[in-house]
Amino acid sequence: MQENSEDNSYGHMIKQSKKFLIEVKQNYTSLVQEWNLLNKEIGEKLKSKNIWTVDKEDLSQLAAEIAQLKENLPKVLNKNVLTAASKINLIEEELQLSKKLAESKQLEASQWKARCEVATADCQKEKEENIKLKCEVQELTQQLSQQSDYCSSLGSACCTLLWRVSKNEESIQSILVGSKIDEFLCLVSNTLESYLSAYKEEWPQDTSEEQSFILALCGIITNIAASALGRDFLVTNQYGRQLIDTYLKVLSEAPNGKAAKLKK
């Protein structure tokens, strides 16, 4: 807006200077025409009369005025023309500078616009990628939830069967002499700790597969501890002692009301 205002001001000055030059030229032309007309009238009068009477003082004054006019008029015209030309040149230079500045600003604006378009495209691309990743995360979360439910259901079924088998004292010996007993005790200990850490503040319902899985694990360990052989094994085995510590932790930290089945 400021550049447009300066351009309008410079344009107005140029118009005023040109108008002034035109008026001076018109006045000069008018004076020349009047002077020619006067000479013509004087010549005609001189032709019609053999004698023309003019006062010498008036003639001298007229001659002096004409001489002064001839002397001053070019000076005035030249001075005004030079001043106007100088102003015009200065205005033209300022206009050129303003145009260059405007072109520079326009180029800079174009560059910023291009950068903005690139940034907008990158932002849109990142949004699309984020949406895609979010969908993938949701899909993986759903798959993980399904796998977790499946594992809980499978673990609940298998451990429930093993729980029933472990009620027979003869089967306890078969369980303890197996090659996987240490891994099983470690699995029970880690599962109980994770379960307590996950649901300590909000205990799940008793009807869930996960709850049934935990109860079945605890039932198996309870049946093992019910036999003398099982008690000796748990006390002497490294993972058995670790499991006993985990049991004590669960009994002390699990809520009394909601975890009643687990504490039994």
Domain match, 106 and 224 both: no
What is the band of 131 on the pLDDT scale with cuts at 50, 70, 90?
very high
What is the band of 234 on the pLDDT scale with cuts at 50, 70, 90?
confident
Residues 6 or more apart whose CB falls under 8 angstroms from that of 233 comprise: 176, 224, 240
Domain assignment present for residue 189? The answer is yes
**What does the pLDDT look like over 62-114, one tens digit per residue?**
778 887 777 776 666 666 666 776 778 888 888 888 888 888 888 888 889 98
**What does the pLDDT look like over 141-185, one tens digit per residue?**
888 888 877 887 887 788 888 888 888 888 888 888 877 888 989
Confidence at residue 150, expressed as pLDDT on a 0 to 100 scale: 82
Domain match, 209 and 258 both: yes
Domain assignment present for residue 120? The answer is yes
Residues 6 or more apart whose CB falls under 8 angstroms from that of 31 comprise: 69, 73
Confidence at residue 51, expressed as pLDDT on a 0 to 100 scale: 55
**Domains in the chain: how many in total?**
2
Domain match, 115 and 213 both: no
Domain match, 83 and 201 both: no
Contact criterion met (CB below 8 Å) for 220 and 160: no
Tokens for 99?
Answer: 């145009």
Domain match, 31 and 123 both: yes
Confidence at residue 239, expressed as pLDDT on a 0 to 100 scale: 87
Domain match, 123 and 21 both: yes
Mean pLDDT over the full length of the chain: 79
Domain of 173? 166-263
Residues 6 or more apart whose CB falls under 8 angstroms from that of 98 comprise: 3, 6, 7
* pTM greater than 0.75 (yes/no): no
Domain match, 116 and 173 both: no
Domain assignment present for residue 148? The answer is no
Domain assignment present for residue 40? The answer is yes
Tokens for 18?
Answer: 């040109």
Q: 12 or 197: whose pLDDT is higher?
A: 197
Last residue of a domain, one of 70, 103, 128: 128
DSSP 205: P
H-helix or E-strand containing 73?
Answer: helix 56-165
Is 60 exceeded by the pLDDT of residue 205?
yes
Domain match, 93 and 180 both: no
